[in-house]
Structure 1
Amino acid sequence: MKRAADIFSGFGGWTRAATSAGIDVLWAANHWPDAVFWHAANNPGTIHVCQDLHQARWDQVPAHDLLLASPCCQGHSKARGKSSGNPQHDASRSTAWAVISALEFHRPEAALVENVPEFTDWALYPAWVAAIQALGYQIAPHVIDCADLGVPQHRVRLFLVITRSRAPLMLELHKRQHVAAATFLDFDAGRWSTIEKPGRAQATLDRVRNGRQRFGDRFIMPYYGKGSGLTGRDINRPIGTITTLDRWALVDGDRMRMLSANEALAAQTFPADTLRPDNHRLTMHMVGNAVPPLAGQRVIEALQKAA
């Protein structure tokens, strides 16, 4: 496999992964102009299209050996707090059908689709799989914690390996040693504030106190009461999932701050020279949606080895 197309390309996690694995990403598309702009800034040699992929002109996409896709996950993810089958997310879930359209037109050798594990609970998932099989492909689901692939972040995701093989192709993904959050946290940078200050929520103060009892003066904690419970996390283990909104706070003695955009990029394994907007919220949104490049690279390399 030498050439790829990246649909729902977002901030470019799949593209970075493929490039690192020696694959040329010829074409990338996304419906969000900001994501397309920054994807193009980081990947100037790739053809970019900004469009609703329901309306894609697949005849204008260069021929490729590998299709990469991360359809919208919001309609499936429990993190959104929406009940299964919520009609508000019908349009979001339907983006997955663009994968079928792309496969039908170009018939690449293989495809890799990333989403949340709840994707397989979708009422139409059996029909989606049947459509892929009708095109002559086999599909092998892999549920992977990206920390097991060397990403300094616990991020459980579904990787669907779609191949023209006689049976579903299960990849050999060797478990790597976990990488600590301390490898990318910078306690000498950022905008810190005093923990004990007027207006600080009591729940936050309680989490800080509990975290100190378990981990000492330096640790990470969710800024709200979900995720790592009421205590936080040791900086010598991977951080929890990087989301599209500010979630993780760093505590250092009597001060605290939120995770910076650069630290979030590093937690996702984007290189330090990755171009990004100055807007913190926009960066966090795009980074939180991305495939961790290192995880994607190792999945692609395992596919190359097995193919």
Structure 2
Amino acid sequence: MNAIDLFAGAGGFSTGAQMAGCNVVWAANHWQQAVDTHAANHPDAQHVCQDLHQANWENVPAHDLLLASPCCQGHSKARGKLSGNPQHDASRSTAWAVVSAAEYHRPQFAVIENVPEFVQWSLYPAWRMAMEALGYCVAPHIIDAADHGVPQHRERLFIVATRSKHPLMLQFPLRDRVPASSFIDFDAGKWQPIEKAGRAENTLARIAEGRRIHGHRFISSYYGNERGGRSLNRPVGTVTTRDRHAIIDGDRMRMFSAQECRAAMGFPTDYQLPAQHRLAVHMLGNAVCPPVARDVINALKEAA
């Protein structure tokens, strides 16, 4: 099965598709550094760096499966009061590139990934009707990556669109939860003392509460709602586009390394990342977890 990857980013969707036996023939993103990272890991695919609002779909190879991760920032509740704000209209409009690509090529299958709030978008009913007008049945699935062997709780929406008589509601294998301890290396990284000049009071308070609940080793988030930290025996919370998770070990602490973020996302250990930590974390935080993409595509192939 040949696949294309819209808004491919660092390549999580493409990697999952390859795990499911697909041949990724084309990938596009508007950010050159992401395209370069994708190309380093998927050298056999054609790569394009462009705004997909302006794409010439005639130049895209024929394919059976369209994969797409339109920009999610305009939908995400993580933006608080900015969620759904008109300033993000251009961000949300990237979803229409999926309709445009599907209209030209009419692949048998499409899988679209986004945050669950995507279906609350005021234009989602129109977007769905557009896909249905092209002959697609649309089946939304809410999936937590932790249920697919990824050591991270990450709920995302996967819309399965098929040129079939009825929507396909997929069945997935039950996989064991993988704890954060599976990828944290206490002998590596740049550790700092917890008690040091300039450490924020809120940070110290979160760590103190985490010690009370979990002991001397646990994970503490720099932002979010995990005031008491998280046990190493559970999957970690959602990996984001900037450093979020700190490892606490006695009287020392450090942030996740890019390699630990890569493992928390379910990427292979040999997956190439940008050398700059900030860029690597940003790309990983925007990515699709490859094992989830693998399981969705395998279930789609089995059900079709």
* TM-score bracket relative to the smaller structure: over 0.9
1:233 aligns with 2:222: no
Are the equivalent residues in 1 in contact too, given 2:76–2:83 (CA < 8 A)?
A: no
Q: What residue is the counterpart of 1:244 in the other structure?
A: 241
Structure 2: gaps spanning 5 or more residues: none
1:267 aligned to 2:282? no
Unaligned runs of 5+ in 1: none
User: How does the TM-score come out when normalised to structure 1?
Assistant: 0.98
The residue that corresponds to 2:181 in the other structure is 182
Q: Aligned equivalents of 1:292 and 1:42: distance in 2? A: 15
Q: Secondary structure at the match of 1:95?
A: helix
CA–CA distance in structure 1, aligned partners of residues 289 and 81 of structure 2:
25
What's the offset of the Cα at 1:200?
Answer: 1.1
Please list the CA deviations of residues 30-85 of structure 1 after superposition, one character each: whole Å capped at 9, or x if unmatched: 00111001100111100000000001110010000000000000000011224453
1:180-214 CA deviation, whole Å, 9 max, x = no partner? 00000111100000011111111111111111111
Aligned length: 304
Q: 1:184 to 1:92 in 2, by over 3 A?
A: same
- Which amino acid in the other structure matches residue 32 of structure 2? P
TM-score when scaled to structure 2? 0.98
Q: Identity across aligned pairs (percent)?
A: 62
Aligned to 1:153: 152
The Cα RMSD (Å) is 0.8
SS in 2 for 1:96: helix
CA distance in 1, matches of 2:246, 2:225: 12
Q: Which amino acid aligns with 1:144?
A: I
2:38, 2:173 → 1: CA distance? 30
Match of 2:297 in 1: 300
SS class of match (2:271): coil
- Work out whether 1:281 is the aligned partner of 2:264: no
Runs (4+) off by over 4 Å: none
Q: List aligned pairs for 1:101-180, cutoff 5 A.
A: 101-180=100-179
CA distance in 2, matches of 1:85, 1:237: 32
Q: Over residues 128-164 of structure 1, what are the superposed CA-to-partner deviations in whole Å (9 max), with x where a residue is unaligned?
A: 0000000000000001111011110000000000001
Question: In structure 2, how many angstroms separate the alpha carbons of the residues matched to 1:240 and 1:85?
Answer: 24
